[in-house]
């Protein structure tokens, strides 16, 4: 990891970049590239919920068994993200179930906030980074794309590993997760009031990154009034 760039240091505010958005909108790709650009650590918070969900299933418990899910959330090992089973479509759908449990969200809160509070700054992506985890982040992006574009992206990603991947099933899963994530009582998927929306439907990865970088540079370079 390199040192934060002069552009960040000159802004005199902690370079915390919060990226939220629905499934397969490209937030992880943008988070990874922004982190590399600024030399910041990156946390994909969706992996936390995926790890809890896979842990609950491996335990033989139901996905709405809150005490089991909370215990697993509290005991996630440091290398939790290394498990390839977290990257499947099933793990994403299961993650959305445990993510609706308030106790699970509470159990994962401190670790996410601690990551965001690293002195040099950080990049986090998820569903509630700009609204709950880092409400004071100076740079918030809400990344969207049409459900069809997102299903196509996820299909290409999963089909490379799983010949049985189905575009129609992925589209249905994305629509269900959008609805479930946006309608849950705790930390629903909603843009923060001060997030900048970035629709990547007609942007390729490089185009989306160029747009995201321009937005973040503007936000980090110009402290908001009163901050």
Ligand X SMILES: Nc1ncnc2c1ncn2[C@@H]1O[C@H](COP(=O)(O)OP(=O)(O)O)[C@@H](O)[C@H]1O
Ligand Y SMILES: Nc1ccn([C@@H]2O[C@H](COP(=O)(O)OP(=O)(O)O)[C@@H](O)[C@H]2O)c(=O)n1
The residue among 172 and 214 lying less far from ligand Y, judged by its C-beta, is 172
**Sign of the four-CA dihedral 126, 130, 136, 138:** positive
Among 15, 55, 92, 130, indicate the residue that binds ligand Y (CB under 6 A): 92
The reply on whether position 23 binds ligand Y by CB under 6 A is yes
The reply on whether position 49 binds ligand Y by CB under 6 A is yes
User: What are the strands of the beta sheet with 139-144, ordered from one edge?
Assistant: 42-44, 122-126, 16-20, 139-144, 196-199
DSSP conformational letter for 193: T
Among 77, 114, 204, 214, indicate the residue that binds ligand X (CB under 6 A): 204
Query: Does 2 show up as a binding residue in the annotation?
Result: no
Distance between CA 37 and CA 42 in Å, rounded?
11
Kindly report the backbone phi and psi dihedral angles of residue 73, in degrees, each rounded to the nearest multiple of 5, phi listed first.
Answer: -60, -40
Nearest-approach distance from CB 221 to ligand Y, in angstroms: 26
Written as six digits, the tokens of 77 are 């090992």
Q: Kindly give, in sequence order, each residue whose CB lies less than 8 Å from that of residue 199, ignoring residues fewer than 6 positions away.
A: 144, 145
Query: Does 164 show up as a binding residue in the annotation?
Result: no
The entry of ligand X, ligand Y, none near residue 50 (CB within 5 to 8 angstroms by kind) is: ligand Y
The reply on whether position 95 binds ligand Y by CB under 6 A is yes
The entry of ligand X, ligand Y, none near residue 153 (CB within 5 to 8 angstroms by kind) is: ligand X
The reply on whether position 24 binds ligand X by CB under 6 A is yes
Query: Does 26 show up as a binding residue in the annotation?
Result: yes
Q: Kindly give, in sequence order, each residue whose CB lies less than 8 Å from that of residue 108, ignoring residues fewer than 6 positions away.
A: 45, 48, 49, 52, 73
- Judged by phi (left if over 0) then psi (alpha if -120 to 50, else beta), residue 17 lies in beta
Query: Does 22 show up as a binding residue in the annotation?
Result: yes
Kindly report the backbone phi and psi dihedral angles of residue 60, in degrees, each rounded to the nearest multiple of 5, phi listed first.
Answer: 85, 15
- What residues from 151 to 210 belong to the interface with ligand Y (CB under 6 A)? 177, 181
The residue among 65 and 221 lying less far from ligand Y, judged by its C-beta, is 65
The reply on whether position 216 binds ligand X by CB under 6 A is no
The reply on whether position 130 binds ligand X by CB under 6 A is no
Residues placed in the known binding site for ATP: 21-29
Interacting residue ranges for ligand X, rule: CB under 6 A: 21, 23-29, 153-154, 157, 200, 203-205, 208
Interacting residue ranges for ligand Y, rule: CB under 6 A: 23-24, 28, 45-46, 49-50, 92, 95-96, 99, 126-128, 177, 181
């Amino acid at each position: 990891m390199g040192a934060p760039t002069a552009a960040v240091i000159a802004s005199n505010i902690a370079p915390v970049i919060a990226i939220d958005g629905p499934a397969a909108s490209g937030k992880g790709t943008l988070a990874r590239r922004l982190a590399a650009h600024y030399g910041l650590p990156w946390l994909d918070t969706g992996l936390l919920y995926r790890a809890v969900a896979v842990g609950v299933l491996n335990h033989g418990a139901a996905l709405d068994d809150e005490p089991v899910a909370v215990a697993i959330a509290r005991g996630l090992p440091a290398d939790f993200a290394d498990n390839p089973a977290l990257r499947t479509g099933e793990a994403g759908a299961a993650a959305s179930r445990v993510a609706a449990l308030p106790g699970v969200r509470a159990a994962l809160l401190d670790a996410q906030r601690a990551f965001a509070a690293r002195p040099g700054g950080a990049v986090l992506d998820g569903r509630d980074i700009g609204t709950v985890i880092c409400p004071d982040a100076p740079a918030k992006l809400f990344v969207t794309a049409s459900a069809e574009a997102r299903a196509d992206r996820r299909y290409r990603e999963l089909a490379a590993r799983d010949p049985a991947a189905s575009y129609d099933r992925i589209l249905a899963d994305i629509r269900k997760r959008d609805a479930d994530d946006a309608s849950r009582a705790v930390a629903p998927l909603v843009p923060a009031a001060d997030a900048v929306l970035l629709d990547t439907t007609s942007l390729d990865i490089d185009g989306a990154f160029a747009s995201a970088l321009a937005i973040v540079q503007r936000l980090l370079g110009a402290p908001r009034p009163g901050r």
